[in-house]
Amino acid sequence: MKAYVLRSYGPPDVLELTDVGTPVPGPGEVLVRVRATSVQPYDWHHMRGEPYAARLMGGTLGPRGPRIGILGADVAGQVEAVGAGVTGFRPGDEVFALLTQGGFAEYVCVPESALARKPENLSFEQAAAVPLAAVTALMALDQGGVQAGHAVLVNGASGGVGTFAVQLAKAFGAEVTGVCSGRNADLVRSIGADEVVDYTKEDFTRRGPRHDLLLDIAGTRSLRACARVLKPRGTHVVVGGPAGRWLQPVGHTLATLAVSPFVSQRVVMTQVVGAGNIRGDLMRLTELIEDGKVTPVVHRSYSFGEIPAAVAYVEQGHAPGKVVVTV
């Protein structure tokens, strides 16, 4: 099969399109023919090996080179074969999945626990936009204890995670304020935000209203500043942070943890890859999508041969919604 292999850190042209062996599903695994994938910051951070500090933390960034050989965390496609013990899927089923690696290829083996049936009302490309971004948003709202009637502020509302967070919060009955640039304000309103704050014109941490829950995806303000927009017993969920070569977004997370004992609000860190009930979350999202309450925002599409260009575009950091790839 064809796959983009990552052998060393660097710019998008280090992604080498080459022939590799088609994987064979082991016990509890499903072989999926990839029909679409998506590109996100998770991919280019691993491609670049950034932030450098993360290479020393024992995760998926190795100190001398990548520990992930084929990038791509989002997959939508068709079941090709199943391994021993798999009972929930059979060849031909249309599925989508959240992985730690492997999506930038024609085939990938997926643990049954990370796989769910594709929403019937979505194309493969739309479905590939869902897993990591939507599961992140769903987990963040769950951790924040969102309830009907809550006032929710989403900082970074126009990005991949943010566009799902706005829609999910509305689906759960919250009043939603989105923070984004002015050029994306209409988009954020169109997906359900009750109010939009243009961060290029206004500091959202110095506005009057206080919120029950802040989903901080952009990580552009300090914890103390964000505390001003939360009610005394509100919850601040840290989802992401600013990009950086050496320390960020790790530095933002560490600084938030250091200051959190000195604010009255509850502070939560969201970690998705390798955690949680992924299949259950994908099934919850499928129900919401098929009910028409959530729709992926696809900003741009690329062909499989254009994956390096797609990664380069996402790395610029200005794409609203999701960037998808047809395989």
Give residues with Cβ within 8 angstroms of 271, minimum separation 6.
none
- Which residue stretches of the chain have pLDDT < 50? 244, 246-248
Residue 273 CA to residue 131 CA, distance in Å, equals 11
Residue 92 CA to residue 154 CA, distance in Å, equals 38
CA distances from 68 to 15, 51, 65, 309 (A): 12, 15, 9, 20
The answer to whether 66 touches 6, Cβ cutoff 8 Å, is yes
Say which amino acid occupies 295.
Answer: T
pLDDT of residue 244: 47
Q: Which two tokens stand for residue 288?
A: 């919401």
pLDDT of residue 248: 47
Describe the crossing of helices 160-171 and 131-144 by its angle, rounded to 10 degrees: 50
pLDDT of residue 280: 95
Q: Which two tokens stand for residue 145?
A: 């204890």
pLDDT of residue 207: 87
pLDDT of residue 58: 61
Give the residue carrying structure tokens 């999202």: 285
Each residue of 136-150: pLDDT tens digit? Answer: 999 999 999 999 999
If DSSP states are collapsed to H, E and C, what string results for the chain? Answer: CEEEEECCCCCHHHEEEEECCCCCCCCCEEEEEEEEEEECHHHHHHHHCCCHHHHHCCCCECCCCECCCCCCCEEEEEEEEECCCCCCCCCCCEEEEECCCCCCECEEEEEHHHEEECCCCCCHHHHHCCHHHHHHHHHHHHHHCCCCCCEEEEECCCCHHHHHHHHHHHHCCCEEEEEECHHHHHHHHHCCCCEEEECCCCCHHHCCCCEEEEEECCCCCCHHHHHCCEEEEEEEEECCCCCCCCCCCHHHHHHHHHHHHHCCCEEEECCCCCCCCHHHHHHHHHHHHHCCCCCCCEEEEEEHHHHHHHHHHHHCCCCCCEEEEEC
Residue 205 CA to residue 224 CA, distance in Å, equals 9
Residue 45 CA to residue 245 CA, distance in Å, equals 9
Q: How many residues does the chain have?
A: 327
Each residue of 258-297: pLDDT tens digit? Answer: 556 556 678 887 766 555 689 999 999 999 999 999 999 9
Count CB neighbours of 299 within 10 A: 19
Sign of the dihedral defined by the CA atoms of residues 176, 272, 238, 319, in that order: negative
